[in-house]
Every structure is written in structure tokens, then in C-alpha cells.
A and B are shown apart, each in its own frame.
Chain A
């Protein structure tokens, strides 16, 4: 296989700080090339250079052996390089056909969009991809997985030769991920397409990638061929040390009293959910996207409406109709949607940390006790090893993993008895993930009751003392974690009745 794209000694500096150092990277014709590395390793920067979003400080890019200069994304498209970003650019109120052919709609004699032709062309594009969706329906009515496919169709239909996918599976369900993997393998074969694939999910990389390049701190650590690629090896290259990824973190605790008991909760997206969680216990909640886990948690927390059901906190009945009440009663929720529902991106780490516990920082007559806030923020920066350890830095300047830690410290600063964490390691790299896992375990050991919602089974099995399984809004059962396997959980999730 010939090399279609070669990047030679790419360097990139932002305000004097070099983030990519002499990066050599190449893609062959018709290969799937995975690019992995921790948050901040330089993956996105490199992809932005290849797709023309930013220009390298130095270095050369060759395509088919000829040097190319990419001034902007349009140049990249002219060179037949297309990118699908992590955040999709699907317009919800446009139809599937309009989304696919946006900006190049066929026009009739009067200069209007030729709808008939539009739908025919879109259908052709979809056929090539091997998917049957009615091009006339609104894109907003499709699942995230299908929207992803529409976006990929849109990019591929521009006759590109190199497709870049930036974390395409981060918001997909397991089934959608499998479909996407099949799709990528097929279009690679059929169209001799080269695909660059960025992912944090190493099992996907293992299945999909013909070659894998590992970046760390802006350096290329190495490129592995398919047969050399194993997860432990990739992790070692990514973080520079070995990590026992699946090492169980179950406690040997004697659990304490029941802290939170939920009895027959009904609400939008879930029905008849009952569970209890004790001191020092981690209750895992497993379910695929659409299982109603987040809806249940938001209702429990008072952000959404609970139609019926009882919540008992330490034996007392409690009506929680807003999040403030939940927080006051010692229930905190770490959202899965940290950018919109969790953090204050343009505010400092310090103020994000104390956002759930403002009441505790009064001096006299309602004057803010800044000194105490500094101390608390410093404490969590140290305990959770937030990097850089600068409490006055704005949160958007932190990497995903560190943002997640800041989000967790916000809840911890409110001294909860019950901590609900929803997808605590989404979009977080391996090192930070490990760190967050041990933090959760330690919190439980110190007496907290934790409810951990996750769609990642390995994570749940590693940490939870019991696992509650939800599927399409219904509670399928709760399993004690005595050497529980993924098969046990999955078979219960899909069990009839």
C-alpha cells in the first residue's frame, strides 16, 4: 500500500509554547489509522493541521508525494481531506437530504432548490453507504448514532480520499458503535478510503485500526502495526508506565446503614425503579443510552419532575423538587454533561469548586470569605491532583480530565452523604480515568454512598459493589458483584420480561 499522506517534522506553537514537536505521521491508502494519546497530547492539534483549520509553525505535508499547503479547511477539502468533528454539525430542522447536500443543493431552472433531485441524490449517497434512511425526514428526529452516520455520509459524498473522525463513538450506544465499526470497515474496503480515527476507547482501536500511532506530550511515541497492537502496550506508550487497567477496586468494606432508599420511582423515561444504597457502598447503574438512567438521576435530584415514588434519606421521607434542596440534604449529582449542566467555563477553578457550597463562604453581613474559598479550592486541587494547580485559571483552559476533576470537587465541597456520578469518565483519558476511579473508591471507603451511572461495563464491574441494570426505562434487576462478568450483566439487560 502506498502512502497517501505524509506529515514531516510538523511543529506547532501556541503563544510560544510548542505543543507538537517534529511530528512524523503518515497514512496509507485504504487503511484505518488510529491516533491515540491522553488529553492534551496533541491529537486534535495534529488533526486540525491536516484538515486546514490551523497552520503548522513548521513542517511539511505531502499528499501522493507532492507537497501541499493548507491555508484553510476549504483547501483541505480540495485535497480531498474531510473531517467529522466530535461535536456534530447536523441541523436538526433540516431534512436528512438537506443536511447531506448542504451548500451544494441541486437547483432547477427557476433557481429554486430542486427537491426531487435533492432527495434522489441524497438517496444515492445513502445507498453507497449501505444505509436505508428516508432522506425526507428531519435530521433532528434521528438518534445520535444515525446523525453521526449522516454527517459521515455528508463528508464522504464530497469524494474525499482521507476521512478524519474525531472521537466518533463518544456519545454512541454500544450497538451504534458496533454498527459504525462495521460501516467504517466496509466503506474502507469498497472505496479504498483512508481513515484517521481518534479515540479514547482502546478496545475499538484494537478492533478497527490497521495501524496505531501514539502521541504523548506532543511527541510521536511510536506507530504500531495491527498485529503488534495490544491494549496494555498502547497504554504503556500513552502514559509512559504500566497500568493494570482492569484491576478490580472492590472494597472489602462492611457497609453501614442505608443512606438513600428510593421506592417505586416513576417519571419521564423510566418507571418503577426501586433501590437503596448504603454507607461505604458503590451502587453501579448500568444501562445503554436511552435506558433512562440519567432521567432517573435528574428526577431524583429534583432537576426534572418525579411523577410518583418515595425517597427516604437516612430513614426520613424527603420531597426533592429542586436541586438546591437535594444539595442541602446532602445529595450531589455529578452530571454527564459537564459543559452545559455542570461547569462555569468562563469562571475560575476556585469559583467552580465552591459553586455548590456558596452558603459556607460567608464572613459577616454576607461578605464573601475569599480566603476560605482559596483554601478549599487549593485542598481539592491537591487531593484530586488537578493540573495546572492554579485556582484562578478559567475552567475552559483545562483538559477534559481535569475539568471532570473540577466538576467532582464542586460536589465534594458541598459535603454530600450521597454522591451520584453520571458517566464520570466520559471523554477522559486513561490516566485521569484511573485517578477518578481511585478517588471514588476512596470516598466510599470514607463513608460516602455512591451511585455510579455508566455505560462502560469494565468500569462498573471494577468499582461497583452491586450493579443495578436498567433497560428502556425499566429496572431489570440488581446483581451483587461477586466476580460478575460482562456477560452476566448484558444477558440480564436483554432478558425478556
Chain B
């Protein structure tokens, strides 16, 4: 009994090792069972593309989960950002300013989310769901359902270029994730965010600027969603109101698999990176075994529920130890 407990504890505590092992097992399984369709360039390129967007959104999501919130608006912000950047590009704005303005819009949406949660004291779930609907609606209305295509090569090259054989999209998202991962571990600011998520009231009583930092966390989430939207428009050469549907559930699932908990105070970007990998590979596995691509939303939903259930079990185990 004791030995078993010890092993269990070790596995839980070395989450990163566990995640790496799980990723390797799934990838090996797919490589052996579906060598033809899994192990080929176009499939890998597809996986890497979706992973890049997931990774960017997960950077923001992990931070928001750490302060004890959640951001359901990110998928809609991706669509909004894709449309804004497409329109700006078509109007002849340079790539640099297009990126800056679009990301700013994302960050502003994040700030609005943050204010709704802190000043208006709305539950994060409700506030960000409301914003999600508003933005998605706005996107459909402004585009009348049309795609905004015909973007300049200067803009589309942004995410199609390769640097030393690595697609720029992958490079950008991985580098940013690593930076976020390091900042989470090193920065004073983020350490305070962990405290806020652990006990919001204690944080306030300790003099930690809880509201400000929560708004900042949502702002970062909006920032990453905005960036992700620019890159998706660049990658597919158009802006569309339908981008990003269901992205938030993948980002939440990836973050929670990676070590974040819904009640806040925990989260690790390096764990989240493997969470993203696992979510992407499982999704791909489903397609490999004959599922339609459209099923991916359902698969993400199922994964989200499973991880949230695991989160619940983990939490009650923590509580039991706590009392």
C-alpha cells in the first residue's frame, strides 16, 4: 500500500515526465498502427499548424487559469483579429502596423474581460462567454459571412516562411511559449498571480494588487488571441468570422493537462506545451482512425470534460490533505 502510494505520488509530482511519456506513447502507437497516413509531411505540417495556434492561446489561458479565472472569449478574438488584420492589409497598411493594431485590439478585449470580472464582479465564465458571443456576432455582421481574401504576399509570408527548415509559425509560438514558461517561473509579478489564484481574499488582505493583476492576466490572454488571429489570417490568406470555434476548449484542456487547475493558483507553461501536443495528437488520432475532421470539436469537448474531471479528483485529493 505504501509503495503504491509512493509511486503514485512520484508520478503526480513529476507531471512533466508523465506528460512526455504519454506523448511518446501516443505518437509511437500512431506511427506503428498508421505509418502511411500519420508519418507523412502533410499530416505533420497540419498538426504543427493547429498546434501553433493552440500554443499561443494556451499561453494566455494558462496565465488566466493561474489567477483563478478562465477566458472563453479567445476563439472569438481569433476570428476578430483575423478580420481586422485582413481588412487593414487590404487597405494597404504595412505588416508591422497591422500586427501592432490587431494585437492591441485583442489586448483591449482582454482588459474589458478583466474589468467585467474585477470591477463588475461577474463570474469569469459568464463574463467571457458574453464577450465571446458579442464578438462572434460582430464578426458575422461585419463580414456578412464572406471571407476576406486576396491578401498581400508580404502579409501571408509572415507565417508561411521557414527559418532553417522550421516554419515561422512554429518558431514564433514555441519561442513565445518558452518565454512565458520562464517568466512564470522567474518573475515577481507572476509569483503574485499564483498567490491570487490560491486564495483571492488572502491576497487582497496581504496587500497584493489582485484586481490589477487579474486585469493584466486577461489582457495577456487577449494579446495572445490577437496574435494568433493575425497569424491564422496570414497562414490561410484570409480573414473569416468562423475561425477559432472551439479553440478555447482546446486551450483549457491543454492547460489543465499541463498542470493548471480550474480553481486557480497552479499552472506551468512547460506542462501546457505538452498538453497542447497531447490534445493535437489525440485529435489527429481520431481522424487517422476514420473519424471525420468535423468531429474534432466533439473530441476536444470530450478531452476537456475528462481533464476537468481529473482536475476535480486532483483537487479533492489536495483538499483532503489540506484538512
Residues of B within 8 A of A346 (CB): 198, 265-266, 318, 322
Give the contact stretch, choosing among B83-91, B181-189, B214-222: B181-189
Report if A267 contacts B (CB, 8 A).
no
Chain A proximity of B149: nearest CB distance (Å): 42
Partner of A368, one of B191, B209, B323: B191
Report if B18 contacts A (CB, 8 A).
no
Partner of B206, one of A16, A356, A368, A396: A356
Q: Given A328-B207, A347-B194 in contact, is the A342-B2 Cβ separation under 8 Å?
A: no
A396 and chain B: residue at smallest CB distance: B322
Q: Mark B87-98, 1 if CB is under 8 A from A, else 0.
A: 000000000000
Q: Given A367-B188, A368-B188 in contact, is the A355-B2 Cβ separation under 8 Å?
A: no
Residues of A within 8 A of B201 (CB): 340-341
Residues of B within 8 A of A323 (CB): 204-207
B323 and chain A: residue at smallest CB distance: A396
Residues of A within 8 A of B321 (CB): 396-397
B194 and chain A: residue at smallest CB distance: A347
Chain B positions 197-235 with a Cβ under 8 Å from a chain A Cβ: 198-199, 201-209
Q: Given A344-B198, A347-B198, A351-B195 in contact, is the A324-B207 Cβ separation under 8 Å?
A: yes
Residues of A within 8 A of B14 (CB): none
Q: Is the CB of A358 within 8 A of B191?
A: yes
Q: Is the CB of B192 within 8 A of A342?
A: no
Chain A positions 1-30 with a Cβ under 8 Å from a chain B Cβ: 15-16
Give Cα A410 to B187, complex, Å. Answer: 20
Q: Is the CB of A355 within 8 A of B202?
A: yes
Give Cα A327 to B266, complex, Å. Answer: 26
Report if B5 contacts A (CB, 8 A).
yes
Chain B positions 155-191 with a Cβ under 8 Å from a chain A Cβ: 186-189, 191
Give Cα A351 to B191, complex, Å. Answer: 9
Chain B proximity of A348: nearest CB distance (Å): 11
Partner of A414, one of B186, B189, B207: B207
Q: Mark B46-84, 1 if CB is under 8 A from A, else 0.
A: 000000000000000000000000000000000000000
Q: Is the CB of A326 within 8 A of B207?
A: yes
Chain B positions 235-287 with a Cβ under 8 Å from a chain A Cβ: 265-266
Chain B positions 263-317 with a Cβ under 8 Å from a chain A Cβ: 265-266
B182 and chain A: residue at smallest CB distance: A367
| Most chain B Cβ neighbours within 10 Å, of A322, A328, A341, A346 | A346
A325 and chain B: residue at smallest CB distance: B207
Give Cα A322 to B207, complex, Å. Answer: 8
A: interface residue count bin: 35 or more
How many chain B residues touch A (CB < 8 A): the figure is 27
Chain A proximity of B9: nearest CB distance (Å): 9
Q: How many A-B residue pairs have CB under 8 A?
A: 83
Partner of B207, one of A327, A341, A362, A366: A327
Chain A proximity of B240: nearest CB distance (Å): 38
Residues of A within 8 A of B195 (CB): 344, 347, 351, 355
Give Cα A410 to B186, complex, Å. Answer: 21
Chain B proximity of A29: nearest CB distance (Å): 32
Chain B proximity of A151: nearest CB distance (Å): 18
Q: Given A323-B207, A346-B198, A358-B208 in contact, is the A366-B322 Cβ separation under 8 Å?
A: no
Report if A62 contacts B (CB, 8 A).
no
Report if A343 contacts B (CB, 8 A).
yes
Report if A303 contacts B (CB, 8 A).
yes
B263 and chain A: residue at smallest CB distance: A346
Residues of A within 8 A of B199 (CB): 340, 343-345
B196 and chain A: residue at smallest CB distance: A344
A370 and chain B: residue at smallest CB distance: B186
Residues of A within 8 A of B207 (CB): 323-324, 326-328, 356, 414
Per DSSP, chain A at the interface is: mixed
Report if A335 contacts B (CB, 8 A).
yes
Per DSSP, chain B at the interface is: helix
Give Cα A22 to B9, complex, Å. Answer: 29
Give Cα A397 to B206, complex, Å. Answer: 21
Q: Is the CB of B205 within 8 A of A367?
A: no
Give Cα A344 to B321, complex, Å. Answer: 14
| Most chain B Cβ neighbours within 10 Å, of A323, A326, A327 | A323
Partner of B198, one of A326, A345, A356, A368: A345
Q: Given A323-B207, A326-B207, A358-B208 in contact, is the A340-B191 Cβ separation under 8 Å?
A: no
Give Cα A453 to B189, complex, Å. Answer: 33
Report if A219 contacts B (CB, 8 A).
no
Partner of A358, one of B188, B204, B318: B188
Chain A proximity of B314: nearest CB distance (Å): 11
Residues of A within 8 A of B266 (CB): 346
Q: Given A323-B205, A396-B322 in contact, is the A347-B265 Cβ separation under 8 Å?
A: yes
Chain B positions 15-65 with a Cβ under 8 Å from a chain A Cβ: none
Q: Given A15-B2, A326-B207, A341-B205 in contact, is the A358-B198 Cβ separation under 8 Å?
A: no
Partner of A410, one of B5, B204, B206, B209: B206
Report if A361 contacts B (CB, 8 A).
yes
Give Cα A326 to B189, complex, Å. Answer: 20
Chain B proximity of A313: nearest CB distance (Å): 15
Residues of B within 8 A of A344 (CB): 195, 198-199, 202-203, 265
Residues of B within 8 A of A355 (CB): 195, 202-203, 206, 208
Residues of A within 8 A of B204 (CB): 303, 322-323
Report if A266 contacts B (CB, 8 A).
no
Residues of B within 8 A of A368 (CB): 186-188, 191
A345 and chain B: residue at smallest CB distance: B322
Give Cα A368 to B189, complex, Å. Answer: 8
Chain A positions 294-324 with a Cβ under 8 Å from a chain B Cβ: 301, 303, 322-324
Q: Is the CB of A367 within 8 A of B186?
A: yes
Q: Is the CB of A324 within 8 A of B209?
A: yes
Give Cα A333 to B207, complex, Å. Answer: 10
| Most chain A Cβ neighbours within 10 Å, of B202, B318, B323 | B202
Q: Given A328-B207, A355-B208, A358-B188 in contact, is the A341-B198 Cβ separation under 8 Å?
A: no
Chain B proximity of A47: nearest CB distance (Å): 14
Residues of B within 8 A of A324 (CB): 207-209
Give Cα A335 to B188, complex, Å. Answer: 25
Residues of B within 8 A of A351 (CB): 191, 194-195
Give Cα A335 to B2, complex, Å. Answer: 38
Chain A proximity of B33: nearest CB distance (Å): 41
Partner of A303, one of B186, B189, B192, B205: B205
Residues of A within 8 A of B203 (CB): 344, 355
Give 10 A-B contacts (CB < 8 Å), ordered by A residue.
A303-B205, A323-B204, A327-B206, A328-B207, A340-B199, A340-B201, A346-B198, A366-B188, A367-B188, A368-B186
**3 closest Cβ contacts across the A-B interface?**
A327-B207, A396-B322, A355-B206
Beyond A303-B205, A343-B199, A356-B207, 6 extra complex contacts between A and B, CB < 8 Å:
A324-B207, A344-B203, A345-B198, A347-B194, A347-B265, A358-B188
